[in-house]
Amino acid sequence: MADRQTAIGAFVLGGIVLGLGTIVLFGNLRLLSPTTRAVVVFEGSVSGLSVGAPVTFRGVRVGAVEGIVIQYDATAKTALIPVTLQLEPGRVRVSDDTVTRAEVDLPRLIAQGLRAELNTQSFVTGQSVIDLDFNPASPAVLHRGASSLIEIPTQQSTIQRVTQQLSDLPLRELVENAIATLGSVRKLSERLDADLPPLIASLKTTSDGAAHTADVATRAIDGLQERLNTTLDSITQLTANADKRLGERSADLRVLLTSTTQTVVQTRDVLNELRSLTSNRGTARANLEATLRDLAAAAASLRGFASDVERNPQLLLTGRRP
């Protein structure tokens, strides 16, 4: 009988120990770790936030929500929602220049820019969490008399800022402008449907005419090119023939000049013989002297012409210009 009672007592004691362990491991009860209590006051909705919701610092859990109350001011007709937080300083190490300590000076952290914001933990369940972070640029708005605990100032979350910006948008005007724009687009589309077919037909006709003109111009250019090629060939052949004839005439002219020189020499010799035969005062001599002068002038002119022809053989074809 005593052994049975001992076994029952041991079973009950084991159950109590197991229950306490479960509460300590899976609950929010921290029996051995110290906690610090603070308050966050929200002026707007805290939808999705419940007791036991986690308090995180950049995603790391540093506490939990202990309580949520509503504080209504009948005079100002405003409602505040103080949310009590149970923080676990043991999860935080504060490092100064030379010392690392486990003590958390919450007022000092708030002065350095510690702020709290409400974020959505899951869009499926709609649960919210309180996230802590440093933002010295955010003003520290405190609510005196809301709680006797240390108050951590709040700031708008990204979702709240986006929601506020969306709520500030002139949606009615945007919708009206969108409707007017759609109406203008519809009118423009109807007008284009009516005007585009004739315009397309005109463009097609113009394009066909341009293509025909291009074909005619191409054929004309081809014919002109063939004529130019024929003309160039004729000019080339004419130049070759002219060069050939000038060469032949130059050889004949050289023979002629040689014969003329010989004739002049012979004539001079004959005249010298005739001069020796005539007297100094005779009429024949005067005639012979005149004849000699004429022959000399003719010979000089012939030599000048020969020199000119040698310098410019084309004179045989064109002659001297007056």
Assess whether pLDDT exceeds 50 at residue 206: yes
What pTM, to 2 d.p., does this model score? 0.44
- In angstroms, the CA 163 to CA 259 distance is 122
The alpha carbons of the chain give a radius of gyration, in whole angstroms, of 63
d(CA 23, CA 171): 51
Give the range with max mean pLDDT: 42-46, 65-69, 289-293: 65-69
CA distances to 8, 15, 16 from 2, rounded to whole Å, are 10, 20, 21
pLDDT, position 266: 79
User: Does the structure show a pLDDT above 70 at 186?
Assistant: yes
pLDDT exceeds cutoff 50 at 31: no
In sequence order, what are the beta bridge partners of 79? 72
Reported confidence tier of residue 157, pLDDT bands at 50, 70, 90: confident
* pLDDT, the chain, mean: 77
Could you tell me how far CA 88 lies from the centroid of its own chain? Answer: 53
Q: What is the 3-class SS of 85-135, one letter each residue?
A: EEECHHHCCEECCCCEECCCCHHHHHHCCEEEEEEECCCCCCCEEEEEEEC
Given pLDDT bands bounded at 50, 70 and 90, which one contains residue 146? confident
- Site of tokens 């405003």: 78
Say which residue the tokens 């000092």 belong to: 108
